[in-house]
Amino acid sequence: MTARPRACPCGSKLAYQDCCQILHKGGIAPGALSLMRSRYSAYALGLADYIMATTHPNNPSYESSERDWRKKILAFSRTTSFVRLEILDVQEGEQRGSVTFIAHLLQGGEDVSFQELSTFEKVDGRWLYLQGAKTSH
pTM of the model: 0.93
Range of the domain at 33: 16-135
Q: Does the residue 32 lie in any domain? A: yes
- pLDDT for 100-113, tens place per residue? 999 999 999 999 99
Tens digit of pLDDT for each residue in 25-61?
999 999 999 999 999 999 999 999 999 999 999 998 8
Residue 101 lies in a domain: yes
Which of 78, 129, 25 lies closest to 16, judged by CA?
25
Pairing outcome for strands 81-92 and 114-123: unpaired
Supply the CATH number for residue 84's domain.
Answer: 3.10.450.50
**57 within some domain:** yes
pLDDT in tens, 71-124: 999 999 999 999 999 999 999 999 999 999 999 999 999 999 999 999 999 999
User: What does the alpha-carbon distance between residue 36 and residue 97 come to, in Å, rounded to a whole number?
Assistant: 10
Q: Where are the alpha helices (DSSP H) in 1-65?
A: 20-24, 32-45, 48-53
In the predicted model, is pLDDT for residue 64 greater than 60? yes
Taking residues 3-9, report their average pLDDT.
81
Domain assignment of residue 2, yes or no: no
Specify the pLDDT at position 2: 55
